[in-house]
Amino acid sequence: MLSWLFTLLVNLLSGHRLKYYNGPVLHKTENVRMWFSETAGFGYQAELLCRLLDEGITVVEVQIANSDRERGFSKAFRFTNLLSVANTLFHILLRRFEKLAFAVLTKRPSRP
């Protein structure tokens, strides 16, 4: 349920429509070197994927079988991790505002 909520939030804030952001990902080395993530923690992958999509990189989503944790507890709900995810969501939203502002400021006036 929380993964679904996280994906929904990232899609709303970024304007993208991926089905999942925190699964295994294969990246081209050149893309990661050029467009690194500005955040760390549990949300870095979402921020990096949104940044790559904003730069025009295309992705292919491939569904894989999920295996749930058999024992132990997730560290995702620690306070520092929640702050990290909030920071990631903020960066995603900020980049979207920057993109919109740039589009408005660089729009050329139409000629009569």
Is residue 111 pLDDT above 80, yes or no? Answer: no
* Predicted pLDDT at 51: 92
In the block, tokens 């349920």 appear at 1
Domain-wise residue ranges, the chain:
2-60+75-105
* Cβ(71)–Cβ(31) below 8 Å: no
Is residue 99 pLDDT above 70, yes or no? Answer: yes
Element (H, E) at 34: helix 29-34
* Predicted pLDDT at 95: 92
* Predicted pLDDT at 14: 96
Q: Stretch 8-31: mean pLDDT, rounded?
A: 92
For the record, the structure tokens of 110 come out as 């139409």
Is residue 109 pLDDT above 70, yes or no? Answer: no
Q: Stretch 39-49: mean pLDDT, rounded?
A: 88
Distance (Å, whole) CA 43 – CA 34 = 19
Distance (Å, whole) CA 27 – CA 36 = 11
Average pLDDT of the chain to the nearest whole number:
87
